[in-house]
Structure 1
Amino acid sequence: METSIHTIACNNLLILFATIAITGIICSKASELMRIPDVVLFLVVGIFLGPSVLNMVDIGQFQVENQLILTFGSAFILYLGGKEVSLKVLKNVKVTVFLLSTLGVLISSFLMAKIIGLNFDISFMTCLLIGSIIASTDPATIVPIFNQVKIDKKVSQTVISESALNDATGAIMTVAVLSIILGGEFSIQDNIYNLCIMVIIGVVIGITTGLLLLYLVNDSPSGIFKDYTPIISILSVIIAYELATYLGGSGYMSCFIVGLITGNKQNFKLWLSQKHYDADCNVAETLGTICRMCIFIILGSQVQLTVLFQYFVPALISVLGFIFLVRPIVVLSCALVDRKAKWNKNQLLFMMWVRETGVIPAALCGIITAMKLPGSEIISSIVFMTILITLIVQGSTTKLVARKLGLLQEKYKIESVND
């Protein structure tokens, strides 16, 4: 009987994956024809396939598999994002990136607490908890969009780096506020210390893992595993994430650093042969596509439409305040003090607009709502409304806004004219 139950569960999981894969392929093709980011269609279709509508995709009975997809998928997409970042470009905007991923999260959390408090009759600490959850941006959303819409490198790499680094700040802020709500002890000094530890460990593990594994696949006698470069790349993500997490660091930051090292290997006098480089790129691109499909279709399937409709108007007002008031204040507060970056008006406007929310806030929301805290339905409603609006509205208009602001790279400017 036990074997039969396990067999049925295994078959259901395979059918679920096949459904997601087929749906993802169709959405990817449709996104090419419609000229919008594929993650937008993944999310929308996921909502319709989920329990709230057609009930064809329900990950609820596969909690371990769901966590595996969210964790590895986000880590690998973050790794791919790191590969797209140039150290030369990042060096010139490091102050802005640091401020956005630390001070920016704090400003966003407290301003959103004020806005949510005006729209909902809940305690300030619950409002601050919601603000902390949605304060961090999401690399799993931003990286795929920027891979499809090529814009000014200085801007895109700043936003990608911000999304890679601010999950640690957002997580610490969320835990700190939660500890106050649950009546535990809270210490600003301890939380700042924990944040620094997460950052330092994540960076150190990322650099160590990236350099060591890159050394083993480089095009020299020392590259004894160069024939297995794609496999080593996947292993580097898993090792970096797990080791950093085990030691108390930020696993996502560690994966981003590994990608950063890999994408800038020439700076460390390490190269791959063309054959192994092409193989690695092909496997990474394919796996990245699968991760995007699974993450966003499953994420969409978990949206509870009844809860969204119940608090639709106040949640919508809160999210609009987040987009049009909070984000601009955060960008101006963090970018204008960085004189070296020499930001112009159009670059600032674009950074104000692009700040999609996705997997990391959704995961934090899932943990919080599972604890059945007072106001958990309101928390869920605002978080998923933020995810839906920022992803669908901002994600689908990224190329349009970049074109209007003159930030598209040259060949994409020509394509946009023909759209």
Structure 2
Amino acid sequence: MEGNVVLITENLMKLLALIIFSGVIFAKIGKKVHMPDVVFFILAGIIVGPSVLNLVNFDQYPVANQLILVFGASYILYDGGREISLKVLNEVKLSVGMLSTVGVLISTFITGFFAYKVLHIDFMYALLLGSVIASTDPSVLVPLFKNMNINPKLKQTIISESAFNDAAGAIITFAIIGIVSGGSFSLGHSIIDLLKEAGGGVLVGGIIGYIATLLVSESKFGLLKGYAGEIAVVAVLLAYFTAVRFGFSGFMAVFIIGMVCGNKETCKLSAIEEESYDLHLKFKEVLISILRIMIFVLLGIQMNFDILSKYFGGALIIVIGFIFVARPVSVFFSVILDRKASWNFREIAYLMWTRETGVIPAALAGMIISMKVQHADIISAVTSMAIIITIGVQASTAKYFAKVLKLDIDDYKKEK
């Protein structure tokens, strides 16, 4: 038994080394050709994974795989929360709320309709497919838009949507699974579940974020000052665990921690000493870099090209409809009534184009496969296609499209 544990540990360390090293090599290639590193991380995973060289296979390490994906997405969401200004978010709260709920529902139905017509499967399974890929991905969007020079209203709407919509996407997915498994559906119950998951996540994240920030601050309660980076990791782990244990959204909780940390003055918290703050930032950037490499190389490793090739044509048509019909319609009906946000045509067009698919849909698709739900192979194929196309095309053109639409900060200030 002890020998097996040692062997598994050694193999896992070897696989992690290969994942990170291959990710770094392909990231350098991505810089040379001026494309988002995420695209090359996935490409690295495809090459070193079972589909090509078969150097890395994580099938024997489901716990390690899940830990990387969940903690990676959680810490990246925490970092995204730090980028959010409560003052700016207040301007677009209606749009964010609508995009994260009504928008997800609209996208689910439109994508489901495409799947129903193209694949000729039962409509409920088509809806299940739509719900799996309906939410956007913070692991791509947070790092991408954090470093983009676009107006803060647009940037923070995109980041906030990616944090808030995972709860809606998961609830709709589980509700449909319940129906196709012989259960019943209750709209009122689903709405209560959504409010419980989101509200509970906000509560847990707010409490833990406040306490953690207080402990590392320069106030009289700063018993752990000088350890901001370490306590941030503890807070993310604790908040996710606590939220999930009580049936709340863990991703919402960690995002709120970031918001508390990034809005210390609004939350009436003391600042963190400068040396500790600088050390935290450096640590955070390196950790996020490693986590992003591992997340997306793993996604590439897990791409099932046998299934994808089997349903390639249908999956491609569905994803095209998903991008060019479902997303624009869901954005239009989500933001059109938000007069306070004062969205212009260029900003709405940019929101319509921005909706990368990644970790959370991949996790939901994997769960459906493990549950042996009917048509799980088709759902997996479409999810893989959505990840490849939205990250490869939309993420790659995000900066260029923002320039074309003149959405940088300088143009924003002129309009103001």
Does structure 1 conserve the Cα–Cα contact (< 8 Å) formed by 2:212 and 2:235? yes
Does structure 2 conserve the Cα–Cα contact (< 8 Å) formed by 1:230 and 1:283? yes
Question: How many positions carry a matched residue from both structures?
Answer: 410
Moved more, 142-151 or 357-366: 142-151
Does structure 2 conserve the Cα–Cα contact (< 8 Å) formed by 1:210 and 1:261? yes
Instruction: Tell me the distance in 1 between the aligned counterparts of 2:316 and 2:127.
Output: 17
Q: Equivalences for 1:4-403 in 2 at 5 Å? A: 4-269=3-268, 270-403=270-403
Instruction: Tell me the distance in 2 between the aligned counterparts of 1:115 and 1:168.
Output: 23
| Aligned counterpart, 1:415 | none
Instruction: Tell me the distance in 2 between the aligned counterparts of 1:312 and 1:394.
Output: 19
Instruction: Tell me the distance in 2 between the aligned counterparts of 1:58 and 1:265.
Output: 43
Does structure 2 conserve the Cα–Cα contact (< 8 Å) formed by 1:202 and 1:251? yes
Instruction: Tell me the distance in 1 between the aligned counterparts of 2:30 and 2:263.
Output: 31
Instruction: Tell me the distance in 2 between the aligned counterparts of 1:26 and 1:298.
Output: 15
Gaps of 5+ in 1: 412-419
Does structure 1 conserve the Cα–Cα contact (< 8 Å) formed by 2:84 and 2:156? yes
Moved more, 301-310 or 26-35: 26-35
Shift of the alpha carbon at 1:379?
Answer: 0.9
Instruction: Tell me the distance in 1 between the aligned counterparts of 2:147 and 2:367.
Output: 32
Structure 2 letter corresponding to 1:199: A
Structure 2 letter corresponding to 1:387: I
Q: Equivalences for 1:401-412 in 2 at 5 Å? A: 401-410=401-410
Shift of the alpha carbon at 1:410?
Answer: 5.0
Does structure 2 conserve the Cα–Cα contact (< 8 Å) formed by 1:136 and 1:170? yes
Instruction: Tell me the distance in 2 between the aligned counterparts of 1:83 and 1:150.
Output: 17
Q: CA RMSD in A?
A: 1.2
| Aligned counterpart, 1:414 | none
| Aligned counterpart, 2:414 | none
Structure 1 letter corresponding to 2:381: S
Q: Percent identity?
A: 44
Does structure 2 conserve the Cα–Cα contact (< 8 Å) formed by 1:101 and 1:162? yes
Instruction: Tell me the distance in 2 between the aligned counterparts of 1:345 and 1:403.
Output: 15
TM-score normalised by the chain length of structure 2: 0.96
Does structure 2 conserve the Cα–Cα contact (< 8 Å) formed by 1:97 and 1:161? yes
1:284-327 Cα distance to aligned partner (Å, 9 max, x none): 11111111000000011100111111111111011000101111
Structure 1 residue runs of 4 or more that deviate by more than 4 Å after TM superposition: none
1:42-74 Cα distance to aligned partner (Å, 9 max, x none): 012211211111111211110000010011011
Structure 1 letter corresponding to 2:305: L
Gaps of 5+ in 2: 412-416
Does structure 1 conserve the Cα–Cα contact (< 8 Å) formed by 2:135 and 2:361? yes
1:234-260 Cα distance to aligned partner (Å, 9 max, x none): 111011111111111100000000001
Does structure 2 conserve the Cα–Cα contact (< 8 Å) formed by 1:227 and 1:276? yes
Moved more, 3-12 or 384-393: 3-12
Q: Secondary structure at the match of 1:340?
A: coil
Shift of the alpha carbon at 1:409?
Answer: 3.7
Moved more, 179-188 or 99-108: 179-188
Structure 2 letter corresponding to 1:202: G
Structure 1 letter corresponding to 2:264: K
Shift of the alpha carbon at 1:144?
Answer: 1.5
Instruction: Tell me the distance in 1 between the aligned counterparts of 2:126 and 2:340.
Output: 36
Structure 2 letter corresponding to 1:271: A
Does structure 2 conserve the Cα–Cα contact (< 8 Å) formed by 1:149 and 1:398? no
TM-score normalised by the chain length of structure 1: 0.96
Instruction: Tell me the distance in 2 between the aligned counterparts of 1:397 and 1:26.
Output: 22
Q: Secondary structure at the match of 1:365?
A: helix
Instruction: Tell me the distance in 1 between the aligned counterparts of 2:292 and 2:397.
Output: 19
Shift of the alpha carbon at 1:220?
Answer: 2.3
Does structure 1 conserve the Cα–Cα contact (< 8 Å) formed by 2:226 and 2:273? no
